[in-house]
Amino acid sequence: MSPVIIKTIRIRKRYLAALVALVFLSFYLTRAQNDRAERQAVTAMSQALASRVIVVDPGHGGADTGVAGKSGALEKEITLAVSRLLADNLAQAGAMVLMTRETDSDLSNPVTAGLTAKKREDLERRVAIANDNRADLYISVHVNNSPAADRSGARVYYQRGAVQGGKAGRHMQSELAQVLKNTGSQPAAVDYYITRNTSMAAVVVEAGYISNEAEEKLLLDPAYQGKLAWAIYAGAVKYFALENPPVQRPPENDKLIQTFKEQEQKTLKEP
């Protein structure tokens, strides 16, 4: 090869490296710009939350620790941390936020004996807070667990057949997918005690898998908890801004809840 050709190839290599760097830079700049635009869009829509009653429900608490990770992380602590951040976001936008618990405690009566009886009472009270206050949205925060150690990602669950729950679930799942980039865009339909017995749009957000070592670390990271809280908040904003569900519910809903509660005596499913 003549010296001239070698020189040309070297220059081309340098140009190529610069080009690759530029492509990466523009990719990251575009993504940062998109994230900023997305945040601005959510903020612009956030007045849709004004005077909405939203229940934020940190799963488990007290003796009921929920699931545990290898490093000792407890579901009840992660759910409370994420819920606090979520409640702050919602309240700042003007929503009336009710938290089912703000400390490390469950909601059962201290004199009630037996784990099953305590769990039932705990869940009944969480649901009652939402129904008695005629909430517009119920967000229960949980953490997932699986025997498959590589399973990961956040997932939103709603009551099978619930129209408003499904809409809220889709907006939240879509935001989680966009913000965390670790999950699909579709929520899952389930039949859980809390989603079945609440009379408003209700979702259970499983923030991630504590059984996955890498995700367990993320779930304990305040910055990641902030991302989770933001995504759930953005989903709530879009649900109210774009779906505009009626605030007034028909009075016969109360009868419906009672019926559900009577049926519930047989089975108790919860996340």
Closer to Zn ion by Cβ: residue 66 or 235: 66
Is residue 157 within 8 A of residue 190, CB to CB? The reply is: yes
Q: How far is the CB of 66 from Zn ion (least distance, A)?
A: 4
Among 120, 142, 155, 167, binds Zn ion (CB under 5 A): 142
Burial per residue of 137-147, b for 16 or more beta-carbon CB atoms within 10 angstroms, e otherwise = bbbbbbbbbee
Among 54, 58, 59, 220, binds Zn ion (CB under 5 A): 59
Closer to Zn ion by Cβ: residue 73 or 241: 73
Which positions ≥6 away from 82 have C-beta within 8 Å?
Answer: 58, 141, 207, 225, 228, 229, 232
Among 58, 61, 66, 166, binds Zn ion (CB under 5 A): 66
Task: Provide the residue type at 25 as one letter.
Answer: L
Q: How far is the CB of 39 from Zn ion (least distance, A)?
A: 29
Closer to Zn ion by Cβ: residue 68 or 241: 68
Where does residue 25 rank: exposed (0-12), middle (13-18), buried (19+ CB within 10 A)?
A: exposed
Q: How far is the CB of 75 from Zn ion (least distance, A)?
A: 5
Answer yes or no whether residue 61 interacts with Zn ion by CB under 5 A.
no
Q: Tokens 């699931």 — which residue?
A: 67
Q: How far is the CB of 151 from Zn ion (least distance, A)?
A: 16
- Closest to 165 measured CA to CA, from 126, 205, 193, 202: 202
Closer to Zn ion by Cβ: residue 52 or 119: 119
Among 58, 69, 153, 271, binds Zn ion (CB under 5 A): 271
* Residues present in the chain in total: 271
Question: Contact residues for Zn ion (CB under 5 A)?
Answer: 59, 66, 142, 271
